[in-house]
C-alpha cells in the first residue's frame, strides 16, 4: 500500500496503539497534518485511540517527553501553527508562558529569549510604531496573512492586533506579573 508515497508520515505509538499520521512540511519546517480529523475539535488535528479523541500535537509532545503532560500545562507551539505536529516545535508550558512566548516572538518586549531546541521561530521585529500601520492595512482590507508576511510575524499576531486582544490587556498582565 503506497497511500502516502508522495508525502511522509509519522508512526506514532500511544498506549500500545499505532497511528500512521501523514503530513507535509512547509517553509517554516512545520509538519502539517493532512490526514482525517476525528470529532469536533476544529483548531487542532485529532485522532481516536481506545475510543477517546486526542489532539495529535499533545500526543507528539508526550512521545517526545516520554511522559504525560503535567496537569495545568499545555502543549505549546513555538511556530504558532495549530496544524503543526512537529515535536521540535512543541513544548510543555503554562498558558501564561504561552502568551509570553507569543509576545516574545513578536519582538514586542525585551524578554530574554528562552531557547527552544531545534525550533524555527518567526524572526520578527515588530515595534510600537508598526501597530498603527498594521491597523491601517487591516482597515484597507489587506489580508491578515499578507500583512503577517509583510512584517515577518505570525498571522495569529495580526489577528490579535486586529481584535485588539493583545496590545493593551496582555501588556498589563505581563507588567503586573513582572512586579511579583
What residues line the site for Zn ion (CB under 5 A)?
30, 79, 81, 84, 86, 89
Angle between helix 144-151 and helix 155-162 axes, rounded to 10 deg: 120
Nearest approach in angstroms of CB 179 to Zn ion is: 33
Find the shortest distance in angstroms from Cβ 16 to Zn ion.
27
| Distance of closest approach, residue 26 Cβ to Zn ion, in angstroms | 8
Residue 86 C-beta: closest distance to Zn ion, Å: 5
Q: Do 36 and 47 contact (CB within 8 A), yes or no?
A: no
CB-wise, 46 or 81, nearer to Zn ion? 81
- What is the H or E stretch that residue 97 is in? helix 95-106
Cβ proximity to Zn ion: between 30 and 126 the closer is: 30
Nearer to Zn ion, 46 or 86 (CB): 86
Residue matched to cell numbers 505581563: 174
**Of the two residues 62 and 79, which places its CB atom closer to Zn ion in the complex?**
79
Phi (first) and psi of residue 92, to 5 degrees: -85, 125
Helix then strand then coil, % of the chain, to nearest 5: 35, 20, 45
Q: Find the shortest distance in angstroms from Cβ 102 to Zn ion.
A: 14
Nearer to Zn ion by C-beta: 37 or 142?
Answer: 37
Cell of 21: 499520521
User: Does the CA dihedral 120-126-131-135 come out positive or negative?
Assistant: negative
d(CA 51, CA 68): 18
Amino acid at each position: 500500500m503506497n497511500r502516502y508515497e508522495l508525502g511522509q508520515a509519522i508512526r506514532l505509538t500511544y498506549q500500545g496503539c499505532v497511528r500512521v499520521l501523514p503530513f507535509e512540511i512547509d517553509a517554516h519546517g512545520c509538519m502539517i497534518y493532512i490526514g482525517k480529523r476525528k470529532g469536533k475539535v476544529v483548531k487542532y488535528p485529532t485522532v481516536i485511540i481506545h475510543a477517546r479523541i486526542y489532539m495529535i500535537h499533545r500526543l507528539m509532545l508526550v512521545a517526545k517527553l516520554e511522559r504525560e503532560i503535567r496537569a495545568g500545562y499545555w502543549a505549546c507551539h513555538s511556530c504558532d501553527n495549530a496544524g503543526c505536529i512537529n515535536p521540535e516545535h512543541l513544548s510543555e508550558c503554562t498558558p501564561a508562558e504561552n502568551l509570553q512566548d507569543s509576545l516574545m516572538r513578536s519582538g514586542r518586549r525585551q524578554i530574554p529569549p528562552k531557547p527552544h531546541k531545534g525550533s524555527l521561530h518567526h524572526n520578527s521585529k515588530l515595534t510600537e510604531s508598526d501597530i498603527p500601520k498594521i491597523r491601517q492595512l487591516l482597515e484597507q482590507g489587506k489580508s491578515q496573512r499578507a500583512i503577517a508576511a509583510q512584517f515577518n510575524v505570525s498571522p495569529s499576531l495580526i489577528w490579535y492586533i486586529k481584535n485588539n486582544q493583545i496590545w493593551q490587556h496582555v501588556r498589563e498582565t505581563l507588567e503586573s506579573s513582572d512586579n511579583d
